Amino acid sequence: MASKATHADFVEMVAEEVSSGIDRALRYWLGRIELEVVDCSLSTSERVHAVEQILREYKDATGTTAVECASA
């Protein structure tokens, strides 16, 4: 019985760590995008370019070639 509880505790700990890492990554990338979007010193065109640059950096960092769109 003790090994089942220990196994369940381990699985929960790993799941929480993975979830925490995903949350940190999302906050990092979305925070960078938000900073560009709300920067009043940039024109609309410059904001779009800045966000596109962040997306390129994300793709380079993750080895992703495309970012899929979420359905509404």
Question: What are all long-range contacts of 37-44, with beta carbons under 8 Å and residues at least 24 apart?
Answer: none
Provide the token pair at 64. Answer: 């992703």
Q: Which residue has the tokens 């992703």?
A: 64
In a domain, 46, yes or no: yes
Residue-level pLDDT at 2: 55
- In the chain, the number of structural domains is 1
3-class DSSP state of 6: helix
What pTM, to 2 d.p., does this model score? 0.76
In a domain, 31, yes or no: yes
pLDDT band at 12; cut points 50, 70, 90: very high
In a domain, 19, yes or no: no
Residue-level pLDDT at 3: 66
Q: What is the pLDDT of residues 33-67, one digit of tens each?
A: 999 999 999 999 999 999 999 999 999 999 988 88
Measured from the Cβ of residue 56, the count of other Cβ atoms closer than 10 Å reads 10
Q: How large is the average pLDDT for residues 5-19? A: 92
In a domain, 40, yes or no: yes
Nearest to 39 by CA among 27, 26, 54: 54
In a domain, 54, yes or no: yes
In a domain, 36, yes or no: yes
Note down the domain range covering 35: 25-58
